[in-house]
Structure 1
Amino acid sequence: MVLAPFGRGRVGSRADPSEPSDPLVRVSDVPPAPPPAPARRHGIDPSFTALPLHALADAALARARELGCSYADLRVEQVREGLRSFRDTALESSTDHSTVGLAVRVVHDGVWGFAAGVGLTTDVAARLAERAVATARISKPLTPHRVELADEPVHADRTWVSAYETDPFDVPEAEQQARMLDLSAALLAGAGVSHTSASLHVVREDKFFASLAGTTTTQQRVRVQPQLTAVSVGDHGFATMRTLAPPAGRGWEYLTGTGWDFDAEVAEIPALLAEHAAAPTVEAGRYDLVIEPSNLFLTIHESVGHATELDRALGYEAAYAGTSFATFDQLGTLRYGSPAMHVTGDRVVDHGLATIGFDDEGVAATTFDIVRDGTLVGYQLNRQMAAEKGLGPSNGCAYADSPGHIPMQRMPNVSLAADPGGPSSEELISRVDRGLYVVGDKSWSIDMQRYNFQFTGQRFYRIEGGRLAGQVKDVAYQATTTDFWRSMEAVGGEQTYLLGGAFNCGKGQPGQSAPVSHGSPAALFRGVNVLNTAAEGAA
């Protein structure tokens, strides 16, 4: 598939599925794509700014002050979502919905209190402050430690809008459907494709925040997730292959050529799927792996992103998705990976799904180190976690997915750094005598301490003597987090870098879902255990 907008090579294919496809073509063989136009910076949606935002804040915060709160904030949110799903060349379902509401959070006598509602009046805002204080009073006997918050400068009257060109909600639904149906029809027309499924998820999130300290922020961000899957049913059984296009903090332009070439990828999937269906099953054993960022982003998410949330490492997040092996006593000493491993957290990269100007505690977005030269050097922090462990200011990792939920510590964009001037994917492959080349994510599993895991993928290619030798199937790679990252010998250069991610990172009880991106180059891992999933399933 063409990744020219990212400076990447092209995944090729052959018409005859019995011949191995060559999934790597030199960048010089791909016609250069014109540079994308700079994303236009929009204003905040007028329907949101027309709400009585400042009056609501004044009412809630004044009442919280009267009741003796040491801290209080108000959020007003308007979240609009559209979801279209398709099967073959027909629309299967289409939904649009909006969530609008306000929430008040307080610290009263050292204890958190929270209340939310949907009435956008000053009376409701004041009553929510009263309910939040009442909640704090009830919770006090159950709270072992007083809440302290790390200091943060005041950010008054700040506005931020994400980088996109066309608001997807400005595009008529008929046009949205037509684009997805055209792609579905092109995919279904491919040789060997029996069925297709597709979906389009678009979100616009508007948020106003105000605190007793004087911070007020108004923000808007847009994100899109198009996805198409080809299904093949035949003598080989049942096989599927999905587009590799990641969700992105972009607008409708993403579907029309900015950031990804969907038409080129859809044209190449049928031959790749046919080769996958006819491919031999993998022989289990230890292999060197060259993993593309379209797969590695998910391993980063599960084994690094979740493991370095400080609330999880401290055991506060446990019941839903577990704690972390990367406990606080190991900060600065844990050899997380090889010296080639440098992982950062950020809320600032253009088109990142977790990118924002200010988090849900009024903390300005920033970039920070998590793993440096293979050693654990930092955690994701909100203001409470930063203060509790004396780690200085928060790095902006508080987020609530709706006005009905309290902010919690959530993952920023967590990314593995490329090697400036480093090798291409082809050069990494040339270093491998016997191995596998891994493209695209699929299923995964990880334990409750983010330590033992296994991951599958969309496509796996044999590497023999430094060259690709066709696809194999039924593959999963398995390791512990530290063994895996310590086996990483090299990372690719910036030309191999891609920003992947997901809309639906889950955490908390009640559960919340957050969008997050993970940038990664291609990377070379030595001696990783590979399972044959068909054999494992039959055992």
Structure 2
Amino acid sequence: MPHEIDPTFLALPLRPLADAALARARSLGAEHADFRVERVRGASLRLRDGRPSGASDTTDLGYAVRVVHGGAWGFASGVDLTPDAAARVAGQAVAMARLSARVTAAAGSDERVELADEPVHGDRVWVSSYEVDPFDVPDAEKTGLLAEWSGRLLGAAGVDHVDATLMTVQENKFYADTAGTTTTQQRVRLHPELTAVAVAADSGAFESMRTLAPPAGRGWEYLTGTGWDWEDELARIPELLAEKLRAPAVTAGAYDLVVDPTNLWLTIHESIGHATELDRALGYEAAYAGTTFATFDQLGSLRYGSRIMHVTGDRTAEHGLATVGYDDEGVAAQSWDLVRDGTLVGYQLDRRIARLAGFERSNGCAYADSASHVPVQRMANVSLQPAPGGPATEELIAGVEDGLYLVGDRSWSIDQQRYNFQFTAQRAYRIRGGRLAGQVRDFAYQATTTDFWGSMEAVGGPQTYVMGGSFVCGKAQPGQAAAVSHGCPSALFRGVNILNTAQEAGR
């Protein structure tokens, strides 16, 4: 049964605040104005070796007014929930736009802010897909489950320490603009994680093994049976950790790789997700983490990867961390192609960037992480599509004579243009004669984005598809954090360079 918006959020004076702010912006000559109330509640629990080691539960509540006035942006925010205060904040936003227009003119620029058209969506309500709001579950029950899982791991031979965390978020947004769109939304997400650590008594060497369960736009049911097999994963971790601790170092060289979706999602995030943000491609996002090699002049021609590569941007995927009903500019959620048949065919857009680049409409990628921040272009759920009727992971492995099978994300590094990178994994298995032949250590795969995706020979079927993701994708200055998911199947890559990281560190 679908959930309804939290009544305590609906009890706030949402419409009176919006009416006052938008009316004031109109009276001051704004060409466009939008008003946004945000309430974000975030909580975390942390256990060390089965004992509580920290907890937090915070709520951030406020509102923001953004305007286009005289062809310039203006923005202001407030926390006083009265119509008079909202009107004053709108006046401050217009004053900021006037100042911005003068600064822009003094710099010799005649660029004006214009927004791509968007249909008016009336009064819309949207709630994400979940069964049990984690904030309805007592903290004692949450802590008890994490403690029980930690104890299970600690009771296994070879496990010396266990860290357990649970992060939960409920995000409420109310949006209204001068065109007539009004949206009220609620999203729930959570991220449970356990890490087991083993220490060799003779040498002091240590290794860790983390659960692979990704963060998800789900509720408490994610930890109690829906969406992930926790029993199986917890049972396997001690043996996997022990094998990893005694595993030999990898021999550097070129290998065929079968990459599990629990690892590949992060490579997608860094080398495709960020690289296809159009503000980067146009040079409007350059300071925080660079631009992109996938420049706008290459749209429709850049060979991103092999012809089996099909990547979508999606704000509609069920349980996706970047899934919404409407973005923070009142744009309805959509799904679209970014890479089709290996060629760059699309970007992620907000309304200003869409109009600037000649697109008829935004695809709904504006997001602000709080009322105190202005919406910026943020990542959708960017996902590699599986092959209909495609092979199982075991079949992909069977097609490799000498290679590696990579599982789980770990560390990563990529340059500012999202082109040269290296990634590691939770664990890597040697593949010999189409069979797994034990774990290896000290490995990283290194490539350029186009070489890596160009080497992709096969993708798995829908049965191999898993949606990974992150709670804390960073962008903008001041910095903002956004949650985003990336789905993908297992995939086979030929001739990828593997580094021995221990040797590299010793150079």
1:140 deviates by 1.1
1:337 corresponds to 2:298: no
1:191 positional shift: 1.1
Structure 1 match to 2:115:
149
Residue 282 (1) aligns with residue 243 (2): no
Uncovered stretches (5+) of structure 1, i.e. residues with no partner:
1-39
Find the aligned partners of 1:275 and 1:318 in 2 and give their Cα distance. 43
**Is the contact between residue 424 and residue 496 of structure 1 (CA under 8 Å) also seen in structure 2?**
yes
Q: Could you tell me how far apart the structure 2 residues matched to 1:173 and 1:146 are?
A: 50
Specify the alignment match of 1:466 in structure 2. 434
Q: Measure the CA separation in 1 of the matches of 2:341 and 2:63.
A: 43
Q: Which residue is 1:508 aligned to?
A: 476
Paired residue for 1:218? 184
Matches within 5 A, 1:52-451: 52-143=13-104, 144=109, 145-234=111-200, 235=202, 237-451=205-419
Amino acid at match of 2:180: G
Q: What percent identity do the matched residue pairs reach?
A: 68
Distance 1:121 1:265 in 2: 51
| CA shift for structure 1 position 429 | 0.7
Runs of 4 or more above 4 Å deviation:
none
- Residue by residue over 1:272-328, the C-alpha shift from the partner in whole angstroms, topping out at 9 and shown as x without a partner, is 000000111000000000000000000000000000000011111111111000000
Q: Distance in 1 between matches of 2:66 and 2:283?
A: 23
* Amino acid of the structure 2 residue aligned with 1:485: W
**How far apart in 2 are the matches of 1:176 and 1:427?**
39
How far did residue 142 of structure 1 move? 3.3
Counterpart Cα distance in 2 of 1:403 and 1:267: 43
Q: Which amino acid aligns with 1:506?
A: G
How many angstroms does 1:141 deviate by?
3.0
1:263 CA drift (Å): 2.4
Contact 1:190–1:267, Cα closer than 8 Å, also in 2: no
Alpha-carbon displacement from aligned partner over 1:205-234 (angstroms, at most 9, x marks no partner)? 000000000000000010010000000111
C-alpha separation between the residues in 1 aligned to 2:35 and 2:397?
Answer: 52
Q: What CA distance in whole angstroms lies between the structure 2 residues aligned with 1:432 and 1:249? A: 35
**Secondary structure of 1:197's partner?**
strand
Local SS of the residue matching 2:371: coil
Amino acid in the other structure paired with 2:235: A
1:490 matched to 2:458: yes
Letter in 2 for 1:494: P
- Whether the aligned pair in 2 keeps the contact of 1:183 and 1:263 (CA below 8 Å) is no
Alpha-carbon deviation of 1:360? Answer: 0.2
Q: Tell me whether 496-505 or 137-146 shows the greater mean CA deviation.
A: 137-146
Q: Distance in 1 between matches of 2:166 and 2:356?
A: 41
Aligned residue in 2 for 1:15: none
- State the AA in 2 paired with 1:156: G
Letter in 1 for 2:257: L
Q: Is the 8 A contact 1:335 1:375 kept in 2?
A: yes
Aligned-residue Cα RMSD (Å) equals 0.7
Moved more, 267-276 or 230-239: 230-239
Q: Return 5+ residue gaps in structure 2 as ranges.
A: none
How far off its partner does 1:441 sit?
0.2
For the residue of structure 2 that corresponds to 1:355, the secondary structure is coil
- 2-side partners of 1:53 and 1:391: how far apart? 32
TM-score, with structure 2 as normaliser: 0.98
Superposed CA offset, 1:319-376 (max 9, x none): 1111000000000000000001000001101100000000000000000000000000
Aligned residues: 500
User: Hey, what does 1:36 align to over in structure 2?
Assistant: none
Distance in 1 (CA, whole Å) between partners of 2:157 and 2:502 is 26
Deviations 1:466-509 (A, max 9, x none): 11111101110000000000000010000000011000000000
